[in-house]
Chain A
Amino acid sequence: MSVPIADQITDIVRAIVAEVLAVPAGELATDTDLREVEGTDSIKVLRLIARIEREYDVELEDDDVFGVSTIADVAGVVRKALDG
């Protein structure tokens, strides 16, 4: 499988975040802190990570799972996992 380029990963991550956190994708900047989005909690962020792991068939490191805070962070660790 060819590795998707960074922008594609970011767009897909943004779409998944929008769906799981139930906010319009247009309101999500790549530097939005996911835990600061209204109505979000740590459980929703965890569910989001689980969804992204399934989407890309990767397992992120614990420090990444619990350390990411923005869409750009998530896209970055997904890219790292796909490259690995």
Chain B
Amino acid sequence: MTTLEHPTNQHYDLDPRIFGLFLGESRKYSSGWFDTGKETLDEAQRRKMDVVADLVHVRPGSRVLDIGSGWGALVLHLAGVHGCDVTGISPARRQREYVEKRARELELADRVRVITSPFEDATELPRGLDAVTALGSVVHMPDLQAVFAKARGLLRRDGRMYVSESCFRNAATRARFDRVDGTDFVRRSIFGNGELRPLSELVAAAEDVGFSIETTLDLTWHYHRTIEQWSENVRTGAAALDAVRPGIAAQLEHYLDVSNAGWGYTTKHYALVLRNAR
């Protein structure tokens, strides 16, 4: 299979300008970190990436793999601000081209590498890593236990994995909502093969492959605030968005509305720090 043929989700292969118009300068497509709620989106995203760096204990020279690296916000931040040697992996080819261009512009090309592949199939991955990160990407991977086992196999002893994911609030909520209109809309139009799970399934899969669970964080409120700011950007940038792709502003606004209405009722957003240690 060539890199052009990976069955990535259409959403992520949309014109990168679309994401630049509503995700802010970092194009980071995951939750920010709001200490007060008054921060700008860009401040909250930078703060979040520092929080992740702290949670996985990286230092200058640390070797990191970012699974589902998107437009490279975390890859470029860990390389540029924390001095890490970072590999990103994503199935979306356009994302690799974008990240490699940004890395050259920031003179980080020697510390940044991007692989175009689904993580599950990738064979040329670095090993003995200090950290693995996966921000909102395991939702697209049906076999969670295989993903965690593979990630653990890439970590050095005592290395850490940071996983953040949107989850059903509990098993009962999943049973009730896995097949309703709002969920189907999000799955069909955005996620492709997205599979929301309750946190307990993430914990069980991590335990079963031998990780120690070091930290669990509730990021729901942070994500709610993040999406409020994305929605605001979609509204103010609607004309520019529709000029790139007619109708995209309304579709994004609906998606973001559905997502934000469900937090705390049907969905939660959690982060886990897993440690490759006894």
Q: Is B176's CB under 8 angstroms from A46's CB?
A: no
Q: Is A50's CB under 8 angstroms from B265's CB?
A: yes
Q: Does A2 contact B (CB under 8 A)?
A: no
In the assembled complex, the CB of B245 is this many whole angstroms from the nearest CB of chain A, namely 23
**Residue from B172, B173, B182, B257 within 8 A of A42 (CB atoms):** B182
Determine the distance from Cα of A17 to Cα of B225 in the docked complex, in whole angstroms: 24
Q: Does B258 contact A (CB under 8 A)?
A: yes
A-B contact count (CB 8 A): 22
Q: Does A56 contact B (CB under 8 A)?
A: no
In the assembled complex, the CB of B231 is this many whole angstroms from the nearest CB of chain A, namely 13
Whether A43 touches B182, Cβ cut-off 8 Å, given contacts A62-B172, A62-B173, A66-B176, is yes
Q: Does B35 contact A (CB under 8 A)?
A: no
Q: Does B262 contact A (CB under 8 A)?
A: yes
Q: Does A55 contact B (CB under 8 A)?
A: no
Determine the distance from Cα of A65 to Cα of B265 in the docked complex, in whole angstroms: 8
Determine the distance from Cα of A1 to Cα of B176 in the docked complex, in whole angstroms: 35
Q: Is B173's CB under 8 angstroms from A47's CB?
A: no
Residues of A within 8 A of B261 (CB): 43, 46-47, 50
A-side interface residues, number (CB < 8 Å): 10
Interface of B is mostly: helix
Whether A42 touches B180, Cβ cut-off 8 Å, given contacts A47-B261, A50-B261, A50-B265, is yes
**Which A19-50 residues have C-beta < 8 A from chain B?**
41-43, 46-47, 49-50
Q: Does B181 contact A (CB under 8 A)?
A: yes
Determine the distance from Cα of A62 to Cα of B177 in the docked complex, in whole angstroms: 12
Nearest A residue to B262 via CB reads: A46
Sampled A-B contacts (19; CB under 8 Å): A41-B181, A41-B182, A42-B180, A42-B181, A42-B182, A43-B182, A43-B258, A43-B261, A43-B262, A46-B261, A46-B262, A46-B265, A46-B266, A47-B261, A50-B261, A50-B265, A62-B172, A65-B265, A66-B176
Q: Taking beta carbons and an 8 Å cutoff, which residues of A are in contact with B?
A: 41-43, 46-47, 49-50, 62, 65-66
12 further A-B contacts with Cβ under 8 Å, apart from A41-B181, A42-B180, A43-B261, are A42-B181, A42-B182, A43-B182, A43-B258, A43-B262, A46-B262, A46-B265, A46-B266, A47-B261, A49-B265, A50-B265, A62-B173
